[in-house]
Amino acid sequence: MTGLYIFVALAVIALIGWGVAELKYKSIHFTHSEAEREEAELLEKEKAENNFHEMNLKDLLEHNSTKGYKSV
């Protein structure tokens, strides 16, 4: 029975910790500063100027450099 009590106690402690974390998450409201917002806009402009696009899985597999001894 002692093992069962310990398991139940750990589950209760975990649920209480989870509840506290959720309450802290809901009480904190994060907003970016004006400097961060300007920096993000600058980065987006640079990406647009350099025709940057994020590679998808097909692009990654086409440019894969792990093809055994051929990559060395």
Using one digit for the tens of pLDDT, what is the confidence trace for 55-70? Answer: 888 888 887 777 666 6
> Could you tell me the two tokens for 46?
């640079």
Q: How confident is the model at residue 1 (pLDDT cuts 50, 70, 90)?
A: confident
pLDDT in tens, 12-45: 999 999 999 999 988 888 888 999 999 999 999 9
> What is the pLDDT at residue 69?
67
pLDDT at res. 38: 94
Q: What is the dihedral of CA 15, 20, 21, 25, to 10 degrees?
A: 140
Report CA torsion sign: 21, 32, 53, 67.
negative
What pLDDT does residue 11 have?
A: 97
Q: What is the pLDDT of residue 15?
A: 97
pTM assigned to the model: 0.43
